[in-house]
Amino acid sequence: MRHKSLADQTIVITGASSGIGLATARMAAAKGARVVLAARSGAALDAIVADITREGGQAVAVGADVGERAEVEEIAARAVAEFGGVDTWVNNAGLTIYGALGDVSEEDHERLLRTNFWGTVNGSLVAVELMRRRGGALINMGSVASDLAFPYQGMYSASKHAVKGFTDALRMELRLADAPISVTLIKPTSIDTPLPRRARNYMDREPSLPPPVYRAEEVARAILHAAVRPQRDIVVGGAGKLFIAGKEFAPGAYDHLAGQIAAFQKRTMAPRRPAGALHTPQQDDTGHVHGDQPFPVLRRSAYTRASLHPLATASAVVGLGLAAATLLRPGRRS
């Protein structure tokens, strides 16, 4: 399946007020797409839309909580009213919690799942009904946590596992119905966005992302590639693909990395901000694509760019598989 060029598309992006969503919206608008930005931070979105419009782009803002089906339907209604329909729908809205599973409140667990999982479900089902006849691309934001688990981000990992299962099942049902809708799951590894600052934090230190860390624009390129030339799954960051492959070869060995992963998740010199944006948006983090990672940020992923071209994918995967087997060789398969 191949879709319209970006310049001929209307694209809905949830979680568009910062990070990957904002990077994608700006990049899509620069390529001529009509963009519908959705997030809880309506005022921040208005400012972003004003910037895009000044630069010659076409964009509208919709303040909405994706965890509420009625508000997601309002996003769709606004897209139809402004631009006549939707060609690509990107379910990007998401948050995380840092803390041991037993320490996190039930209210916080439920709010995370309401945004990460039910937000994706709501967006997907509304988008499918909108595109069932005219066709289009549905792009869901998973994570390497769709295939891996991380200590102190247990419910985030669970939500991304759930997004993967839902996305795979929906793809199969659309094929059975012969619907002209492609379904892509994007699986980024550590990405330089404000996500750690926006996290609900139960730890004694400010959270951080394990290296290597990639720029948000690398994810945006993968999303917009899938909007035109769909792929089933796209992993952003060769390191993420390496660890996914390694866990397949030796899952027990991956479990033994818990200590190193946990150590990288805690920063030593940053003040702790416990509340985050789980329940209420943080205005100081909206409008920003990048975060303040303590590690160097990689501008591109050679693996990801190769994987977007089918002839290069096979050799890239074989090479990463061999590297993963070497990395985890001391472990024993459990």
Name the residue range of residue 140's domain: 8-327
In a domain, 156, yes or no: yes
Looking at every residue in the chain, the average pLDDT score rounds to 90
In a domain, 226, yes or no: yes
In a domain, 43, yes or no: yes
Angular region, 135: left φ>0, alpha ψ -120 to 50, beta rest: left
Q: Please give the pLDDT value at position 216.
A: 97
- The proportion of the chain whose per-residue pLDDT surpasses 70, expressed as a percent, equals 90
Q: Give the pLDDT confidence of 109-127 residue by residue, as tens digits.
A: 999 999 999 999 999 999 9
Angular region, 310: left φ>0, alpha ψ -120 to 50, beta rest: alpha
pLDDT at residue 331 greater than cutoff 90: no
Q: Which of 98, 152, 156, 214 is catalytic?
A: 156
| Listed ranges 27-36, 233-242, 295-304, 313-322; the one with the highest mean pLDDT | 27-36
In a domain, 2, yes or no: no
Q: What is the CATH number of the domain that holds 283?
A: 3.40.50.720
In a domain, 216, yes or no: yes
Distance CA 46, CA 186 (A): 27
pLDDT at residue 325 greater than cutoff 60: no
Residues 275/108, Cβ–Cβ less than 8 Å: no
In a domain, 333, yes or no: no
Specify the number of domains making up the chain.
1
Q: Are strands 58-63 and 181-188 parallel, antiparallel or unpaired?
A: unpaired
In a domain, 1, yes or no: no
In a domain, 145, yes or no: yes
Q: Please give the pLDDT value at position 284.
A: 67
Q: Can you give the chain as a three-state secondary structure string?
A: CCCCCHHHCEEEEECCCCHHHHHHHHHHHHCCCEEEEEECCHHHHHHHHHHHHHCCCEEEEEECCCCCHHHHHHHHHHHHHHHCCCCEEEECCCCCEECCCCCCCHHHHHHHHHHHCHHHHHHHHHHHHHHCCCCEEEEEECCHHHCCCCCCCHHHHHHHHHHHHHHHHHHHHHHHCCCCEEEEEEEECCEECCHHHHCEECCCCCECCCCCEEEHHHHHHHHHHHHHCCCCEEEECHHHHHHHHHHHHCHHHHHCCHHHHHHHCECCCCCCCCCCCCCCCCHHHCCCCCCCCCCCEECCCHHHHHHCCHHHHHHHHHHHHHHHHHHCCCCCCC
Q: Give the pLDDT confidence of 198-252 residue by residue, as tens digits.
A: 999 999 888 888 889 999 999 999 999 999 999 999 999 999 899 898 888 888 8
pLDDT band at 88 (very low <50, low <70, confident <90, very high): very high
- Tell me the mean pLDDT in the region 175-196: 96
pLDDT at residue 268 greater than cutoff 80: no
Tokens 């606004």 -> residue: 78
pLDDT band at 261 (very low <50, low <70, confident <90, very high): confident
More confident residue, 68 or 313: 68
More confident residue, 168 or 1: 168
The question of whether 254 is a catalytic residue gets the answer: no
